[in-house]
Amino acid sequence: MKITVIGVGYVGLTTGVCLAEIGNDVLCVDKDKIKIVDLKQGKIPIYEPGLADKTLKNYQNKKLNFSTSIKEGIDFADVIFIAVGTPAKYTGEADLTSVETVVVDIAKKMTTYKIIVSKSTVPVETGKKIQETIRLYNRTTDFDIVSNPEFLREGSAVSDFLNPYRIVLGVNSQKAKDAMLEVYQNIDAPKIITDIESAELIKHASNSFLALKISYANALSRICEKVGADIEFVTQGMGYDSRIGKDFLNAGVGFGGSCFPKDLAAFIDISNNCGYNFQLLKEVQKINDDQKQSFIDKIKEIVWNLKGKKFAVLGLSFKPNTDDMREAPSLDIIDSLLKEGAIVTAFDPVATKNAKAILGDAITYAETIVDATKGADAVIILTEWADFKNIDVANLKLKTPIIIDGRNIFDPLEMKKKGYIYKGIGR
């Protein structure tokens, strides 16, 4: 199947490359000329394991191409994926201006039947708005709308696309359904065929539920600390029950990223707009915010006054295997430390460049773990990078042997044996 993908960001590039990988002919369109030139030269703008080589391979065997012309994109294929950004406004509502701009462009330029597929995360009933908008600008050409939400995790987006738990297809015609089944024919996964509104809701409902699980584990960790239990045992004991499941029950310093915070806020906004006060999700947000604050309190509890103290922060990205700093818990935590007059040196395997763009010279950036920790009053773990789990803590040259582990990557007994004052989450 010939496919155009409009918007070549995290989702759009992964979608375009993987759709080519499974045998489609794909044209990725973006208005950012520099990005398109870079992509044609094999320069991938995002750190995503496996994406670079698949981009190069499919580009070289002509299954994948790039363009800045939306007209070329519309003429190239009958199936057009919209994968532009839908960031949160300050109210939490999703900003759909990019979606509307693209939809109007398609409406004005399309002259033959098209299937417009919404891949971007959009509020429920956006499909209806797309339908109305196209009809407004193009009263003659036949088209169908599809909602095909993505469930990609950063750091594993390529494998998530090629081996999904499910593919959700919100359609309102047999023709669109048949076309979408052909697009995904080479992916062996359950295809959930629904109406458009249900497909749109599945995305927000899924992300919000995953965030809810995390906040539930984080709330439990607070109780564990009060009664001397270990959250790792509690969630392990819970997770064996397949009705609960062990995934997304890891307590830590809270969730970040470009999706959970944004999708939660958008879903709360959507619910308000349709007359339901989703108090439960507001609590999920509050627990996440409190978790970062309680982590700062934990640091104070052990280190006492923070002013003038030197902290080695290990991990800046919002999760391992990504360089993405969007809504990373490290930003709030470092901000709180700096406000108290602390001195911060940070190390992250890949996110330093993106972190510098946000934090600037408010902190210093070490090239290695040893450099970051030299002379520090305490080590603070904020992202569970695999590198950190193998640190030989006995050889760290700290001023005082304190480790505050925001992702429970170390074993408390091990740390005690090695002479450290160790504090984890919920332990």
- Active-site positions read 259
Restricting to residues 125-154, name those near ligand UDX by CB under 6 A.
150-154
Least distance between ligand UDX and beta carbon 319 (Å): 4
Task: Name the one residue in this structure whose structure tokens are 């995790």.
Answer: 153
Considering beta carbons, is residue 24 or 322 the nearer one to ligand UDX?
322
Q: Is position 48 an interface residue for ligand UDX (rule: CB under 6 A)? A: no
Written as one letter, the residue type at 247 is: D
Give the one residue of 16, 252, 315, 424 binding ligand UDX; rule: CB under 6 A. Answer: 252
Place of tokens 């190069």: 56
Tell me if 200 contacts ligand UDX by CB under 6 A. no
Q: Choose the stretch contacting ligand UDX; rule: CB under 6 A; options: 165-173, 252-260, 278-286, 394-402.
A: 252-260
Q: Residue 2 pairs with which residues in a beta bridge?
A: 25
In 104-222, which ranges are E strands? 114-118, 143-147, 167-170, 191-194
DSSP 309-368: -EEEEE--SSSTT----TT-HHHHHHHHHHHTT-EEEEE-SS-HHHHHHHHGGGSEE-SS
Q: Does 207 bind ligand UDX (CB under 6 A)?
A: yes
Size of the site for ligand UDX (CB under 6 A): 19
260 touches ligand UDX (CB under 6 A): yes
- Of 14 and 65, which has the nearer Cβ to ligand UDX? 14
Distance, in Å, from the CA atom of 421 to the CA atom of 427, rounded to the nearest integer, reads 13
* Interatomic CA distance for residues 247 and 391, integer angstroms: 25
* Nearest Cα residue to 196 out of 171, 167, 166: 171
Binding residues for ligand UDX restricted to 261-320, rule: CB under 6 A: 318-319
Residue 221 Cα to chain centre, angstroms: 23
Residue 422 binding ligand UDX, by CB under 6 A: no
Kindly tell me which residue out of 133, 238, 248, 302 binds ligand UDX, with binding defined by CB under 6 A.
248
Residue 107 or 264: the one with the smaller Cβ distance to ligand UDX is 264
Determine if 257 is a binding residue for ligand UDX (CB under 6 A): yes
What does the DSSP 8-state code read for residue 88? B
Residue closer to ligand UDX by CB (options 318, 347) is 318
Only one of the segments 52-60, 68-76, 185-193, 249-257 lies at the binding site for ligand UDX (rule: CB under 6 A); that segment is 249-257
- Which run of H or of E encompasses 403? strand 402-405
Q: Which is nearer to ligand UDX, 138 or 250 (CB)?
A: 250
CA distance 150 to 121: 7
With contacts defined by CB under 6 A, name the span among 30-38, 45-53, 247-255, 271-279 that binds ligand UDX: 247-255
The end-to-end CA distance of the chain, in Å, is 53
Cβ proximity to ligand UDX: between 9 and 73 the closer is 9
Helix locations, 228-259, DSSP H: 231-239
User: Residues in the site for ligand UDX, rule: CB under 6 A?
Assistant: 150-154, 207, 210, 214, 248-250, 252, 255-257, 259-260, 318-319
